[in-house]
Structure 1
Amino acid sequence: MRFSTLLAPLSLVAVALGAAVPSSDVEALIKFPDSNPFGTVHNGVSTNLLHVRVHNHGSEPVTVTRIRGQFREAHGRERALRNTTVMPLGLPVGPGQKSPLLPYKFFSENKQGDVGLRVWIDFIDSTRRQHTVLGYDSTVTVVEPKGSWFDLELLFLYVLLGSAFSGLAYLLYTSYLAPVVAPAPAKSSGGGARRPQAVTAKSSTIVDNTDGTRTKVDDEWVPEHHLRTRKARAAGATSGTSGDESEGAKGRRKARK
């Protein structure tokens, strides 16, 4: 009897603390916007949107501290796959009142297909006790975002590929298809085409037939026996020319007599 009398005050205190704001007195209404009635979630973006509204049915004020979500398996054991965006808040909601509509944007990086999505609301009561309310538990469809022609990464890739293809095409054209054009002959100052200058190599000098300019040939690199042969030929040609000239002179003298 004495033991029950001692426990009675403790039980009353525990009930009073636990019943300050029961979680059932706070309701979280979460749904996709009307523009997304089938709950489609796009991968790789953080603009997936849920509308959240908190309704306090209790007699004590509460403060919504955060909104958080988690992806889970859609079937089977429904094990957790990964957590998603945590949205911190500090929003007070009075007794018998509703919060304004809260936009909860979250990120997704999952395999395409159906996955489970759960979203919770965390709040504290007037005694600073922490509570959690499940506001959304359903299956959503994960898809890849639609491509856009104005994506900067894609535009850069298009420019890079186009430049590489143009350079390859130009290289092939200049190597195999471009016609070979002969260089035009240089014109003289008089307007006519300039004829190529002919040079004649004679002995150890080069004589330009157009103006008679003589240029000495550097023959230091020629082997010595070749030089001796060339000098012998030049000497024979010189003696032959002198003999012809003397015979011509004798013939003219006879004719005069």
Structure 2
Amino acid sequence: MAVRNVIDVGERTPVIALVAAALPLAAAAAGQPDVEASIKFPDSNPFGRVTNGNSNNLLHVRVSNHGAEAVTVTRVHGQFREPSGKERPLRNTTTMPLGLPVGPAGKSPLIPYKFHSENKIGDIGLRVWVDYIDANRKTHSVLGYDSTVTVGEPASSWFDLELIFLYLLLGGIFSGVGYLVYTSYFAPAASSSTKRRPSAVTAKSASIVDGTDGSVQKAAKGSTGVVDESWVPEHHLRARKAKAGGYTSATSGDESEGTPRRRSARK
């Protein structure tokens, strides 16, 4: 009857509880210390959001030693894996080296594990392990986190200096290109009529006389405007007087001899 009761209890026990109870026995049989790693996101990030390009993605790690001998935690490391049941490894996360001893029946202090992410946006699998060495200097590894996280891009800010410099650079380039296009295709052509023409220079007075010292001077107001002709050759003076009186010379020789010739009248 007692055997029957034991069988009934075993039938009502969940399968997962049986597996969990068998794990410590298997670990003890393999000679692995009874060490447990508890890893989770902080309360400020309950949904497990991971930001790309950020090395401050944070997980809280705590190691519990249920064995009779002390162990030393050596490192915390993880791996991103493909979701949707494929579980194909994609890339490793940051490795944080440690040298933290944990006594028998003791717990480690809270360990902040910061890791970097460069993945596609969306859901992705994440596993994190804790490595430690036992009293016999053998290395062991225990899985502390195995779940799906959400990868996203960092929130952009208008006050980011790098973005401001980029905006200014692009704005200068587009402004220069726009100016070249405008001046080449849309700017109105300069009209020839709008060009400034040189203005004619006119004398303020036509009364110019020669000074006694050979310089050209302006005639005084009210003067007769007589020109000093003492420097003009005499034959030029005679020729001008003959032209004024209606005479013309046939040749320059006649002009030099002083024999003016009367201009023939028109028929």
Identify the TM-score tier after normalising by the shorter chain.
0.5 to 0.7
CA distance in 2, matches of 1:173, 1:79: 56
Measured in 2, the distance between the counterparts of 1:19 and 1:59 equals 15
Which of 151, 155, 174 does residue 146 from structure 1 map onto? 155
- Quote the Cα distance in structure 2 between the aligned partners of 1:90 and 1:169: 62
Q: What is the CA–CA distance in structure 2 between the aligned matches of 1:22 and 1:105, rounded to whole Å?
A: 27
1:195 aligns with 2:201: yes
AA aligned opposite 1:44: G
Distance in 1 (CA, whole Å) between partners of 2:137 and 2:98 is 15
Identify the residue that residue 36 of structure 2 maps to in structure 1.
27
CA contact (8 A) 2:250 2:261 kept: no
Q: Structure 1 104/173 Cα, relative in aligned 2: closer, same or farther at 3 Å?
A: same
Report what 1:249 is aligned to. Answer: 260
Distance in 1 between residues matched to 2:63 and 2:196, nearest whole Å: 87
Instruction: Provide the identity percentage.
Output: 65
* In 1, Cα distance between equivalents of 2:202 and 2:170: 50
**Which of these residues, 92, 95, 98, is aligned with residue 89 of structure 1?**
98
Please give the alpha-carbon distance, in whole angstroms, between the structure 1 residues aligned to 2:170 and 2:197: 39
Answer whether contact 2:125 2:147 (CA < 8 A) is retained: yes
- State the shift of 1:195 in Å: 2.4
Classify 1:59/1:168 alpha carbon distance in 2 versus 1 (closer, same or farther; 3 Å).
Answer: same
How far residue 31 of structure 1 moved from its aligned partner, in angstroms, is 0.5
Is 1:75 the counterpart of 2:81 in the alignment? no
What is the root-mean-square deviation of aligned Cα atoms in Å?
A: 3.4
Are residues 1:136 and 2:145 paired? yes
Q: How many residues align?
A: 185
Letter of the aligned partner of 1:137 in structure 2?
Answer: D
Partner residue, 1:177:
187
Instruction: Find the aligned partners of 2:178 and 2:251 in 1 and give their Cα distance.
Output: 71
Unaligned runs of 5+ in 1: 1-17, 186-192, 198-210, 212-240, 253-257
The alignment's TM-score, normalised by the length of structure 1, stands at: 0.61
- Pair 1:114-2:123 in alignment: yes
State the TM-score, normalized to the length of structure 2: 0.59
Contact 1:20 1:60 in 2 (8 A): no
- How far did 1:74 drift? 2.0
User: Which residue is equivalent to 2:54?
Assistant: 45
User: Unpaired runs of 5+ in structure 2?
Assistant: 1-27, 204-215, 217-247
Cα 1:169–1:96 shift into 2, 3 Å: same
Instruction: Report how far residue 123 of structure 1 moved.
Output: 0.4
Map 1:207-226 → 2, pairs under 5 A: none
Deviations 1:15-68 (A, max 9, x none): xxx789844x22211101111111111223222111111122222211100001
1:158 corresponds to which letter in structure 2?
Y
Secondary structure of the residue aligned to 1:243 is coil
Q: Which one of the candidate residues 66, 74, 86 is aligned to 1:65?
A: 74
Q: Secondary structure at 1:250's aligned position in 2?
A: coil
With over 3 angstroms needed to count, the CA separation of the structure-2 counterparts of 1:79 and 1:165, relative to structure 1, is closer
Task: Report if aligned partners of 2:49, 2:152 keep a CA contact under 8 Å in 1.
Answer: yes
Q: Distance in 2 between matches of 1:183 and 1:91?
A: 90
Q: Tell me how far apart the structure 1 counterparts of residues 53 and 68 of structure 2 sit (CA, whole Å).
A: 42
